[in-house]
Structure 1
């Protein structure tokens, strides 16, 4: 009988992995690295971030860094819109205006139009409107007037307030409705009905379709689909946005410009065309 031999089991040795880190570890490292870069960027640009997000008042004095940043952005936007038309909008918050010396600093752009706040809500009239409006008639600027809409006040009374305050004539911009706020005492659908009522009453009185002013996000979320027959003047101060959208009539790209002739900060706007096109938008009679 042959002797039995027991076979040893062969257990292969595990090879040492050349990979130091697995995919999951690499993702964590990349994520932490990107987060660190973001933190450093935000810290270095904290003034600009706070400024863009609106935590610093339009009427507050800008820091030297903020002023430099905003001046450069205005310059970039102006250079990107050669052949377009620039203008400003004002209200009582700009105080006394030296119309004889009104101009952009360093003559960066030529002011061709000025839009003035006339009314707000059902009863308020801008305390500087009459003075600004009369002064404007003695200047070469194309002029326009806007109404600040208060969502929870009667739309007919608001339309009547604007109509009673503003006398438009040939060569001036159409009436403008400024809507920025959400309603507190009614639904969004009811607000839209009120806006349409204001627009209809004002168009009937002046014989021309009004322009609607709105922040860009508000326009995209609530107005774009429901008011397709109207021209829009859109506000967007995003420092990375440099060009007016093709479907915007006007773009308000800053609320913090410094101009000769005005002590307070000012909104600056670009019209989507040359001055001849702007004149064609105005009242014909």
Structure 2
């Protein structure tokens, strides 16, 4: 007698692990983008709010973005001291109207171009220099250095033009150009001769102005005994660095009383500290 085969019932293990569905790459990228956007939106919330609520009806989007960045940087440095710099390119200035940026950030100091090279005198220097004193701004004068001209002749041009008084900022050497007919080593010798001659005359150590790249590549190490005023307009640069005495962070500021865009600067300290840095006698 043949026994019938009994078919065993099939069953499924209760603890069997189902394979997980793969998360599409496109969705992963979208989520990452949204997260990064949220972080950026929060970080720039003051600038975005300023941009949206801007009452300026004229100007390009680029102008408004520049103003939003200015607002962002000023807001982050409310414990510092703000100022600006001018030259003949700003033309006639109504000094009576100059008070603050956005009616919120007070302006305490101004740098004025006095001379350039061995014989150039800024056409508005004398007028602007005298006006700042009348309107209680701490003032400083700067010389635009031309690498291919004699350094002593340039220093003498500045000395003939600028008379510093008690309460004025130290003289400033503005170096931005690369030499055409001399080496970097000889350029540095010329800069040092200018600085020594000017310091000997005014009895106060000058400040050096330059762009951040020029500063880090050629000046920082060999001129470490000097204070620096650094230009950096990078949109993503938001904080003054410890080794910068002044930071020129924009050339597109709008200031009442000045009818062209103007550079804005931050002093790495309080207004009281700024006064302590001026000429004492």
TM-score (norm 1): 0.78
Query: Are the aligned partners of 2:84 and 2:107 in contact in 1 as well (CA < 8 Å)?
Result: yes
SS, match of residue 259 in structure 1: coil
1:179 matched residue in structure 2:
175
Deviations 1:49-105 (A, max 9, x none): xxxxxxxxxxxxx94201210111011101111210000000000001011111344
| Larger displacement relative to structure 2 (110-119 or 97-106) | 97-106
CA displacement at 1:181 relative to structure 2: 0.5
Of the three residues 211, 231, 247, the one matched with 1:251 is: 247
CA offsets per residue over residues 217-254 of structure 1, 9 Å max, x none? 00000000110100000000000000000110000000
In structure 2, the residue matched to 1:204 is 200
1:19-74 per-residue CA deviation (whole Å, 9 max, x = no partner) reads xxxxxxxxxx99xx9xxx9xxxxxxxxxxxxxxxxxxxxxxxx9420121011101
TM-score (structure 2 length as normaliser): 0.79
Q: Distance in 1 between matches of 2:149 and 2:226?
A: 22
Alpha-carbon distance, 1:106 to partner:
2.4
| Among 118, 126, 132, the residue aligned to 2:122 | 126
Q: Offset of 1:137 from its aligned partner?
A: 1.5
Superposition RMSD on alpha carbons, in Å? 1.9
Show the counterpart of 2:274. Answer: 278
Q: How many residues align?
A: 230
Partner of 2:19: none
Gaps of 5+ in 1: 1-28, 38-61
In 2, Cα distance between equivalents of 1:106 and 1:149:
33
Match of 1:161 in 2: 157
Q: Which whole-Å CA distance do the structure 1 matches of 2:216 and 2:236 have between them? A: 18
Task: Say if 2:65 is the partner of 1:66.
Answer: no
Q: After TM superposition, what 4+ stretches of structure 1 lie above 6 angstroms from structure 2? A: none
Gaps of 5+ in 2: 1-24, 34-57
Matched, 1:106 2:105: no
Q: What secondary structure is seen at the aligned counterpart in 2 of 1:197?
A: helix
Cα deviation, residue 107, structure 1: 1.2
Q: How does 1:40-79 map to 2 (within 5 A)?
A: 63-79=59-75
